[in-house]
Amino acid sequence: MPGNKAVAYREPGVVEVVDIDYPTFELRDGPGVNPANVGRKVPHGVILRTVSTNICGSDQHMVRGRTTAPPGLILGHEITGEIVEKGPDVEFLDVGDIVSVPFNIACGRCRNCKERKTGICLNVNPDRPGSAYGYVDMGGWVGGQSEYVLVPYADFNALKFPDKDQALEKILDLTMLSDIFPTGFHGCVSAGVGVGSTVYVAGAGPVGLAAAASAHLLGAAVVIVGDLNKERLEQARSFGCETVDVTAGPIGDQIEQLLGEPEVDCGVDAVGFEARGHGSESSTEHPAAVLNGLMEVTRAGGSLGIPGLYVTGDPGASTEAAKVGSLSLRLGLGWAKSHAFTTGQCPVMKYNRSLMQAILHDKVQIAKAVNARAISLTDAPTGYHEFDEGAATKFVLNPNDYIKAA
């Protein structure tokens, strides 16, 4: 049986590559595994040899110690892989298929899954709706920053690429289908982005850049990306976005210089709970700053898409209220402007097949937009460090050298 190396969270600021068990079709105990899931049989699953698995900003929240993630948790919810084993209940997939795996684990059988709300499946996490690989309080499904990983309910969850050779040629684009491309796209769709829209995307990290590329794909007239990281703003400009430096003064004033008015049609929060303030307060954390800023600059009757992560438990927060996810929102402003808000995990399967087609038929270059870069699994600690330092890069782990072969 093959070995299995994986990336584990050890303590705030520290990840390391460790040896773990090769996956089986039964859930075993381990760091973060919900006790009610221990011993759960997975005849509907497949075991993947990982083709690519990405470092995500959501992983970084845990690594910074901003969640209750336990030491030893195997990280990684952005997974693309080749099937090497399948359970007896898997009917429509075969060994050798290359598939994209949505980060949200879904049974395909509960009420929410049948309503395409796969981000809040009712059956895969005993504690609450919604689950993901390698993530705190998400049921304890082992993460995919590893050489091999188990994917349950595979006929439902896995998106098969139609041509293996074509998939490997475009793997740096296709690897984004597991999370950030659908997540950015969902943020834009829920914000009402369409042909001729003006859009403000808060955050120029990978999800923000994916949202900006999605806004272009949806036909937006002007896409403005705001951040305080100059390298990331430069990356946004590289594919046709306007930019706002949130350290330079009020966002509305800068938007007015670009559009002739201080408001946009659609707002997207791609930052989440570790937001910093704007202007003179940009050096300190203000977890509600992005949401409040979006309400200020989104026109009356507009919508806010909020794919940025907010949590119910943040031990590193600066206030007692923020430690339990309570933020000082200007809800009165949003109410007065009749804003619509859409929060929560992206239901990846709602979008990933269509976005796959857009990639395969050269309608979008998402890897270029997010500045994807492949690194080895052993270089994961360096990738986490550089990402935390603000690198304008989407780090793609390459555990089994598929990307080099391509």
User: pLDDT of 75-86, one tens digit each?
Assistant: 999 999 999 999
Q: In this model, does residue 317 exceed pLDDT 90?
A: no
pLDDT at 330: 95
Phi, psi of 227 (to 5 degrees): -165, 175
pTM score, whole prediction: 0.95
Find how far residue 377's CA is from the centre of its chain.
Answer: 19
* Geometric angle at alpha carbon 138, from 135 and 142, rounded to 5°: 55
Mean pLDDT for 205-219 is: 98
**Amino acid identity of 171?**
I
Mean pLDDT for 376-401 is: 96
Q: In this model, does residue 406 exceed pLDDT 60?
A: no
CATH numbers and ranges of domains, the chain: 5-179+347-405 (3.90.180.10), 181-342 (3.40.50.720)
Q: What integer best gives the mean pLDDT of the chain?
A: 95
**Amino acid identity of 204?**
A
pLDDT at 358: 98
pLDDT at 120: 96
Residue 402 contacts by C-beta under 8 Å, 6 or more apart in sequence? 51, 52, 82, 168, 171
Per-residue pLDDT band for 93 (boundaries 50, 70, 90) equals very high
Contact 88, 236 (CB under 8 A): no
Locus of tokens 């990978």: 206
User: pLDDT of 249-299, one tens digit each?
Assistant: 899 999 999 999 999 999 999 999 888 777 777 778 888 999 999 999 999
Cβ neighbour number for residue 251 with a 10 Å cutoff: 24
Mean pLDDT for 113-135 is: 95
Mean pLDDT for 91-95 is: 98
Q: Give CA separation, 121 vs 67, 75, 80, 185, in Å.
A: 22, 21, 21, 20
Of 118-127, 320-329, 371-380, least confident by mean pLDDT is 320-329
Cβ neighbour number for residue 169 with a 10 Å cutoff: 13
